[in-house]
Amino acid sequence: MGILDKFKDLNAAYDDIKSAGADPFSVRFDEMLSSTEAVVGGKKTILFGTNNYLGLTFDQHSVEQAVTALRENGTGTTGSRIANGSYGWHQRLETELAEFFGRRHAMTFTTGYQANLGIISTLAGRDDHLVIDADSHACIYDACKLTSAQVTRFKHNDFNDLRKRLSRLEDKGGNIIVVTEGIYSMLGDKAPLKEIAAVTKEFGGYLVVDEAHSMGVLGANGRGLAEEQGVEDQVDFIVGTFSKSLGAIGGFCVSNVDDFDLLRVACRPYMFTASLPCSVVASVVTSLEKVKNGQFLREKLMNNAQRLYDGLRNAGFDVGPDVSPVVAIQLTSPDLAVAFWNALLDEGLYVNLALPPATPMGQALLRSSVSAVHSQKQIDNAIALFTKVGREFGAITPERIASAS
């Protein structure tokens, strides 16, 4: 028996997808023309699947600061913060992040995945109870595998269900740690954070919010859903990423909890991996300034999000429950989604194909992420291409159009 035979079902499913056209899991951008356009397979393609919410990947100032830091500090740190030392840039970013969120402490991670993996698995000890939203991102589920705490799930965004599940843990001892996300990455829906925070505090629990898709996007100052809903003082730990609105890579956690720095010598995904190179950190520090002063970008982003959401809904597609920069349409089967995705790419539009089990309720989704720097023309083009392909595939029915309008 071969070592990879255990993946035969996965292999068959992957072969099916590849046989339908291009391989959605190895799309190659041969040349980046801007943060919203690239050359794919020799064709100029509009990018609606990048999570580049504020379009900062080509921000001139951030690029220049990154180049300067690269020349001054070299290509990499060649080690971990704990074993091999920190650089001035790491500490500067942590100071500025803490200040941005109005918290006493911050620590950075090499990826957003590691930030959730590390913080959640380290906070939850043997006698504690980790209570996560059922639609949590894979990194939160992976954190559950790494912890010795008892893990239970509550129904997605259902704070009454959370209350019910917390009440079952009341007499069991240990700390309660509730985990939710600001914007959910697949459908773009937001957590009812005010209610989730209230329920968590009712039971004396700690609240962790992953603002990966909402930092820089929501809140007057870009601090995310907790700021938008006015509950920052009830969120004990905010986790996030530099790979979306900040246009780079890396993750972080901010908090006011006492003895926070103990996490640096307890959190394995922080301790046993190489730290971010200074060039990346310098670009994040610079882009964080753009996020701080990003009211104009956020307004443009939300207008763009509304335009795409309304356009696709009015064309007769099933979209998610909330307007946010993540706009996903639901299709009736994975086969249709794969064919649809290929047709869009052939037409010069790149979006994300999202299939079960990565999607909620086994849905087949085509997920778009909107950027502040998309032009109205690009958005209208995208809507027109979705509509054209949707009609060709019979994915839009007249009844749907009637009910949507």
Partner 1 sequence: MTGTDVEAVIIRELHKLASGSVGIKADTNIVRELNLPSLDVMELVMALEDEYDISIPLDRIADVETVHELAELVRSLNKKADV
Binding site for partner 1 (CB under 8 A): 129, 134, 144, 150-153, 155, 164-165, 168-169, 172, 356-357, 362
- CB-nearer residue toward partner 1: 166 or 370: 166
- CB-nearer residue toward partner 1: 90 or 129: 129
What gap in Å lies between CA 328 and CA 321, rounded to an integer?
A: 10
- Shortest Å, Cβ 398 to partner 1: 30
- Shortest Å, Cβ 151 to partner 1: 4
- Shortest Å, Cβ 183 to partner 1: 21
- CB-nearer residue toward partner 1: 83 or 358: 358
- Shortest Å, Cβ 167 to partner 1: 9
- CB-nearer residue toward partner 1: 284 or 328: 328
- Shortest Å, Cβ 152 to partner 1: 5
Whether 328 and 365 have beta carbons less than 8 Å apart is answered as: yes
- CB-nearer residue toward partner 1: 66 or 144: 144
- Shortest Å, Cβ 206 to partner 1: 18
- CB-nearer residue toward partner 1: 70 or 169: 169
- CB-nearer residue toward partner 1: 88 or 356: 356
- CB-nearer residue toward partner 1: 144 or 253: 144
- Shortest Å, Cβ 149 to partner 1: 8
- Shortest Å, Cβ 127 to partner 1: 12
